[in-house]
Amino acid sequence: MSQKCCKTMNSSIMKKIFMGISGLLLCTFLIGHFAGNVLYTVNADLFNIYAHKLVTNPLIYVAEAILIIIFLAHVVTGIRLTIQNYTARSHKYYLKVKTGRGSTFASSTMIYTGVLILAFIVAHLINFKYGAYYGTTVDGEPMRDLHKLVAQFFMIKLNIGWYIGAMVVLGIHVSHGVWSAFQSLGLGHITYTSYLKVIGKIFAVFTVIGFSAFTLYALIQGGY
Amino acid sequence: MGGLSDKKITLNLKIWRQQDGIADGKMVDYRLNDVKTDMSFLEMLDLLNERLIREGEDPIAFDHDCREGICGACSLMINGQAHGPEAETTTCQLHVRKFKDEQTIVVGPFRAEAFGVHKDLMVDRSALDAIVMAGGFITVATGNAPDANAIAIRKENAELSMDAAQCIGCGACIASCPNAAAMLFTSAKVSQFALLPQGKIEARERVRTMVEKMDDLGFGNCTNEQECEATCPKGIKITNIARMNREFIKSLF
Ligand code: FES
């Protein structure tokens, strides 16, 4: 029984489902992250209070743990898929040409864009979460001045450059990922598939432009 | 289409030659003159083989049967594409007129870990039969055939089922898939039954056993690249894969 269960969990369709669900959850995280960023543009104190409330809430550890599990599931499954798919054709083609009617740049580079995003996330955490600590006091309460850190970071043009670059990579990844996740979860359909693809592309453009805009906003705001 | 043409061209062929399943193969160059543009791709290979036989050489082995685009026996990677560059066309239905005089054409076998080369361009695709044998059928008592209209079937489902049943099992989806996945093939075989009342009875076991077999045989994992759909000579759609995913998810509960 347990062997059978293992087999089901390891089946190619289960891996698709894992990839799809974890990918979509990570996309919803992106939306949440975006909403948090919006506060940056509203008011420095508000942004700092939001960040403070977030990290001082004891539930943050549970949320972080869940996020890490989802993220690792996505990464590990992606790497497993890549290795298994590579070995599924050990004798490579002498010549292989794409039809031009199927696979896209985004779909054929998922593992590369994925690895780049992973590297970016590590850098991003080092830059901010584990970055320099500036203190401030809002309404008599001492807290971290994350707003100042962000503003300082994006005063350096090079940082803006590679952050926008990373967002383009993320955009490419989700432009295939979103549609692909729905297809994997069985929602592909003669007519809906084309809508799903459009939704994926819109989300990709939103990610690139939306997140890049904050870096430029921080630069223009400057101030420190 | 303007009738037959007398036009003849010369082709520079680069063909995979391999003695048997164990031997190492290699690409061999052949220059073939006087190829009528009205010939099919396989007739062109026949022409080359006749010459090789005359010259006392071993003819090139390749799979073929109906030569009408309905049996799924023919295969070949032609200039890097399964069944050549034409959409919804089997190799046997591809014509020399699609190529230019003096063009170089690279011809190789379908490749996947689950497929093996028998000889030259002939490929062992029995793995596909194994997937079908794992569950691609319905179990009914034999005897008198029941009245065809006794069971009401929604027209839309009947048509979608027929679309899936168009699959001729040639394996082009696997050959063109960057992951060597057999999802399109398996999903067509699952879908043709899943859409019909007769197929619903064993639906749960069918999708599980067929997917399990597909995985055991060493096919890759689908990553929704869509090269399968793009290359399928019968125009099988990846919506069948979505349906198989749904069937699989349903089978978990
Ligand atoms: S030989 Fe039958 S389909 Fe090509």
| CATH number of the domain where residue A204 is located | 1.20.1300.10
Query: In angstroms, what separates the C-alpha of A84 from chain B's closest C-alpha?
Result: 6
Whether A188 and chain B come into contact, CB under 8 Å, resolves to yes
A31 C-alpha to center of ligand 1: Å? Answer: 51
> Would you say residue B70 has pLDDT above 50?
yes
What pLDDT shows up at residue A2?
59
Q: DSSP for chain A, please give it.
A: -HHHHHHHHHSHHHHHHHHHHHHHHHHHHHHHHHHHHHHHHH-HHHHHHHHHHHHHSTHHHHHHHHHHHHHHHHHHHHHHHHHHHHHTT-S--SS----SSS--HHHHTHHHHHHHHHHHHHHHIIIIITS---EEEETTEEEE-HHHHHHHHTTSHHHHHHHHHHHHHHHHHHHHHHHHHHHHTT---TTHHHHHHHHHHHHHHHHHHHHHHHHHHHHHH---
Say which range, A184-188, B117-121, B208-212, has the weakest mean pLDDT: A184-188
What domain count does chain A have?
1
- CATH 3.10.20.30 residue window(s) in chain B: 8-119
β B8-17/B104-108 pair status:
parallel
Report pLDDT digits (tens) over B14-39: 999 999 999 999 999 999 999 999 99
Residue B64 alpha carbon, nearest atom of ligand 1: 1
Q: What is the pTM (predicted TM-score) of this model?
A: 0.93
CB pairs under 8 A between A and B: 142
> Would you say residue A107 has pLDDT above 70?
yes
What pLDDT shows up at residue B227?
96
Q: How many CB atoms lie within 10 A of CB A105?
A: 10
- Say which CATH class B125-251 falls into: mainly alpha
> Would you say residue A224 has pLDDT above 50?
no
Report pLDDT digits (tens) over B156-191: 999 999 999 999 999 999 999 999 999 999 999 999
For chain B, what percent of residues have pLDDT higher than 70?
Answer: 99
Pocket lining for ligand 1, CB < 6 angstroms: B 64-67, 69-74, 90, 92, 168
Range(s) of the domain holding residue A211: 3-88+102-221
Residue B168 alpha carbon, nearest atom of ligand 1: 3
Query: In angstroms, what separates the C-alpha of A181 from chain B's closest C-alpha?
Result: 9
3-state class (DSSP) for residue B117 = strand
Q: With respect to residue A95, please indicate whether it lies within any of the assigned structural domains.
A: no
- CATH 1.10.1060.10 residue window(s) in chain B: 125-251
**What CATH code is assigned to B8-119?**
3.10.20.30
Q: With respect to residue A8, please indicate whether it lies within any of the assigned structural domains.
A: yes
Q: With respect to residue A22, please indicate whether it lies within any of the assigned structural domains.
A: yes
> Would you say residue B1 has pLDDT above 80?
no
For chain A, what percent of residues have pLDDT higher than 70?
Answer: 97
